[in-house]
Structure 1
């Protein structure tokens, strides 16, 4: 029996369509939440981290950490393994990950116009303002996700689906009857080629996960055990990276050969960076723009990814949104000063280690900062090697505290 995938906008009356389908055919249903739960279980990553893959908002640290790509790799592997089952409905954003080569899939999109969706939201107790905000936010996430996966900006593009169900124009019985009629089509029956494509999908996912575990993010395609890796960012030492990637992939069970190639985006300005899990996500907070930008560049040379905030308010917003692990914080800044930022960080996110780096602090400031929980108190100028070592020690302390908390 074919697999059914359902991708829908919010407030499009998807639930009654699903319930009616389930009455008519005895299929198991798998949702994004279940796939996230499975991905979390096999990866060890928290579910909330896995879930961020579906969000259009990307952390400022992602270009160093590849967290979104790693989460997507685990989601893809969880989904690929589930596709080995028959009589399955895959409902949600993750359904877009199933390759077109797997042809025994009936791909359905449920959508409606804005007026209909607002009315449906109001039936669920939402105000019109809330409804519009939720619809726009949800559609933005779906657009971003589809663009990342399929390089298509329109998540409702008819070419992505076998069937569009416009719930504002089609009644429930008609929609379900249409789905039933398509399920009997010869076009979506499982063939040997389609089953083989499903196995290739599993191997592709396993290779992506193996690379993600080592901090790499490249394009992967597997076919009959032959794996092709596409490097989509410029690399300073290409042959060394190719050797490293091949060494990782060759160990994956089922891989018979590995080939590397330069992808379409290779000649863009971005430099490929492997993520070193030993280095912290660093937030630099200083209103001296030239100084902090230079410091960020010097850390980058040492393969330490960092983000920059020029005032305390911005830093506190980034703590909530981007979850840095270590902060390098100046004391004298306009608005909220460094001591107040430190105080707020330790009250709300005590696991973040804070290194004070100032050119104007006093002994009294040092005592206040250390009493508030600062990891170190340093004076400008500071030798970059010493600062790098301090950052690594701060990361180590944070990791030990995290492990201790897990064990409790």
Structure 2
């Protein structure tokens, strides 16, 4: 039997429609939550980290950690594995956008309502005011638009080109929507064929290769066609021959791969430089110092040693990053306006004791050193610091994080 994928806006009667379909037809329901759990189990990443893939807010560390790209890859693999289980599926949620369009036996449905109807439903279901409902709906629509743009390249999450059916639920109602979907399940266009089953296997192979590459620190898009794998890079690349060799050495031995082609996409000439991730090195390093030129230069010098870092210039901003993004290691100045370094250290070790903090100061005293070490600082270094000493201290701190 064909599968159904449903993507919808908030407060668009989608939950009621999905429930009716599950009650009427013997489908297995798969939600975003289910696939997040599967992706976490496959990858060893936390469910919380995987869930962040759906968020429009990208971590300030993502340039170095590629956590979002890794999460999307593992979600795609989790979805591909579900499709090979042989059960009729009804997949509902954001993850439906990760589907390969070559798989023709899946009925792709978008459910959307008129804004005024959605506001009415929100008020009925949650009791919130019209103003609050509209704000929540617009925020949700923006999040979906960003997600669809990131994974599909479309600026309109509701465009008919992404689906087999776009159902205006305010006009059709839940009952008629269910009837329409059931009717289209019998359409010859979504019948299971040998070609569509092969497309599922291609999707699975591409997803497996992609996660293998991302685990080795490479961020590339992957497609497969009966064992012929195409790897596409959309960034400016230095040492192209070496990169192609690295990619081939990872992809070619993978079971089911018959050949590998490396291509460069439309964004190849953008300014970004392709950088392979080394997961033995810290990628979530936060530099906190109000001396802007110093800390910018320090960040650049660390990057030359493949140690990516984000920068903030005051204690309050540092605490906000700790709350939102959880760095692994902090390099922290003591003397700053507002919340000083000792107070930042105290709060970080109280709220997030797993973050290792390296104090780097030009104005500290022996008493400050003792206070910082008593509060749980990993190390206390003085400016000016030898960059090799700082790099080694960073790596040692990260090793402690990884082993804890």
Structure-1 separation of matches of 2:280 and 2:62: 15
Secondary structure of the residue that 1:253 maps to in structure 2? coil
Structure 2: runs of 5 or more not aligned: none
Secondary structure of the residue that 2:346 maps to in structure 1? helix
Judge conservation of contact 2:360–2:383 (CA < 8 Å) in 1.
yes
Matched, 1:123 2:124: yes
Among residues 228, 234, 247, which one is paired with 1:232 in the alignment?
A: 234
Secondary structure of the residue that 1:155 maps to in structure 2? coil
With structure 1 as the length reference, what TM-score do the two structures score? 0.96
- Shift of residue 87 of structure 1? 1.8
Aligned to 1:106: 107
Among residues 373, 382, 387, which one is paired with 2:385 in the alignment?
A: 382
Structure-2 separation of matches of 1:277 and 1:131: 42
Matched, 1:341 2:344: yes
Among residues 344, 347, 367, which one is paired with 1:364 in the alignment?
A: 367
Among residues 224, 244, 248, which one is paired with 1:246 in the alignment?
A: 248
Deviations along 1:192-249, one digit per CA (max 9) or x if unpaired, are 1111111100000000110011111111111111111111111221111111111111
Structure-2 separation of matches of 1:282 and 1:367: 24
Aligned to 1:165: 167
Aligned to 2:273: 271
Deviations along 1:46-65, one digit per CA (max 9) or x if unpaired, are 11111111111111111111
With structure 2 as the length reference, what TM-score do the two structures score? 0.97
Deviations along 1:32-71, one digit per CA (max 9) or x if unpaired, are 1111111111222111111111111111111111111111
The 5-angstrom pairing of residues 186-225 of structure 1 reads 186-225=188-227
Structure-2 separation of matches of 1:118 and 1:258: 50
Structure-1 separation of matches of 2:269 and 2:393: 36
- Shift of residue 143 of structure 1? 1.2
Structure-2 separation of matches of 1:229 and 1:215: 14
Deviations along 1:332-363, one digit per CA (max 9) or x if unpaired, are 11111111111110110010000111111111
- Shift of residue 126 of structure 1? 4.1
Question: Which has the larger displacement, 136-145 or 67-76?
Answer: 136-145
Judge conservation of contact 1:102–1:198 (CA < 8 Å) in 2.
yes
The 5-angstrom pairing of residues 273-288 of structure 1 reads 273-280=275-282, 281-288=284-291
Matched, 1:153 2:155: yes
Structure-1 separation of matches of 2:224 and 2:79: 16
Aligned to 2:53: 53
Count residues in correspondence: 401
Matched, 1:332 2:311: no
Aligned to 1:12: 12
Secondary structure of the residue that 1:164 maps to in structure 2? strand
Q: For the aligned residues, what is the CA RMSD?
A: 1.2
Aligned to 2:318: 315
Judge conservation of contact 2:362–2:384 (CA < 8 Å) in 1.
yes
